[in-house]
Structure 1
Amino acid sequence: MTAARTRPDAALVGAVDAARAFLTDQVGSADVGEHLGHEVEGERVVSHFFACTRAGYRGWRWSVTVARAPRQKAVTFDEVVLTPGDDAIVAPEWVPWKERIKPGDLSPGDLLPVEDDDPRLVPTYSFGDDPLDADDKAQVRQVAQDLGLGRVRTLSVEGRQLAAQRWYDGDGGPSSPLAQSAPGSCTSCGFLLRIAGPLSELFGVCANGNANDDGRVVSLDHGCGAHSEVQLGKKQQPVPLPDPVFDTMTLDEIESF
């Protein structure tokens, strides 16, 4: 069942000149352009739209809402508002700051706490920890693969040590500015993915999508402000919003400043 369509009020629809006169009295004739049409808001309620010619408001329009009481011929004015049209320049949709953070945004000393219900983390006692070796024969299978069942050549001990030293001395090691100011090390972070093999006791992989090192090899004594257990101090808490204020200033008072 569809609702009955509201019948336009002829007196309100025809009150274009009266709406323009009321609008120019409020904002001045210099900012009011052509009549853009009307919209029936409800029974005996109509909004008339006028182009806004004020500099910097291209595509915006004035809306003047008029009404008429039952069995009354006089037209009354409800409100005047400035609304954006289809071509108006408006601010982009607001995005919470945590959703705006991208890898690489963290600077030394920055802290990025994790919510208690973050779906990326679970209590270790309920899920277990990543084992270094799947079973006691994992090392045997690795040696068999290195002997030629998959690759022609593999890293020597010297090559592995050179890689480990390079990683340890790089941005993913403990000497980087990010690690020096971190509140905790990667070895205690829930976002650390353990790796298998001879370098497992020194390195892991960061799996925090908000961290600078996401997807990179990091030393266990590396760290950053996106540690899973970081907490903000009282001085670092967001400033609370002030109490709402009822604004009674008119356009004339604002433009007089």
Structure 2
Amino acid sequence: MTTVLRAKPDPATVAAVDAAREALLAEVDAVDVGDHLGHLVEGERVVTHQFACLRKGYSGWRWSVTVARASRQKAVTVDEVVLIPGESAIVAPAWVPYRERLQPGDLSPGDLLPVDDDDPRLVPTWSYGDDPLDADDRAQVRQVAQDLGLGRVRTLSVEGRDLAAQRWYDGDAGPGSALAQAAPDHCHSCGFLVRLAGPLSDTFGVCANGDANDDGRVVSFDHGCGAHSEVRLAKKHEPVPVPEPVFDTLTPGDVERF
């Protein structure tokens, strides 16, 4: 069992509210500084005093002034003055790299999105033994594949295939979408489903119904929509049949006679 030793509050640094405020006012305008909100014991003879921030646009933020006292010294020194967000502060979302922010449909004509040589979603179409790690060896593999006329230099790896399958299944083409939840039946029994070949053939197909939202898209067998080939309207929803037309043989003279 590990014992956590907590630093005891140092009376001198805890009481240094005025010194902390003075250091803060040397950095920012007084109109931006509010009441003292309390202190945090950071370590032995190290305390952070917090003050409300009144600056426009920084609601919920607070000024943080850290002070310290050296051993056997009476004077308190200021370590840093910073502005930090509180629990109710509006902050920017966590940074997401540009490559991870790309979504299907983001690429415009002419845009290029190169794939890394070590992308785990792809494996060499032709290789010898273990996949070569050296860049020159990878280039040689590509050249040999081209010379042998093998077509694609790299193909989908098992990991890449599983990632795609999970992404499709969890997306709008899977069973969890609102369209599928309201569907009268599943795609596996629809006559418009074109089955895939290969490892994904047990789970996915392509919709070939031009009237459906997913026309030309990969869908899971347990997906569905209202354009299922076997869907039928209830009698109360069927259109009212139009009566047989009647040929009118009356002439204006016949009408006057009546």
Greater Rg over alpha carbons, structure: 2
Structure-1-length-normalised TM-score:
0.50
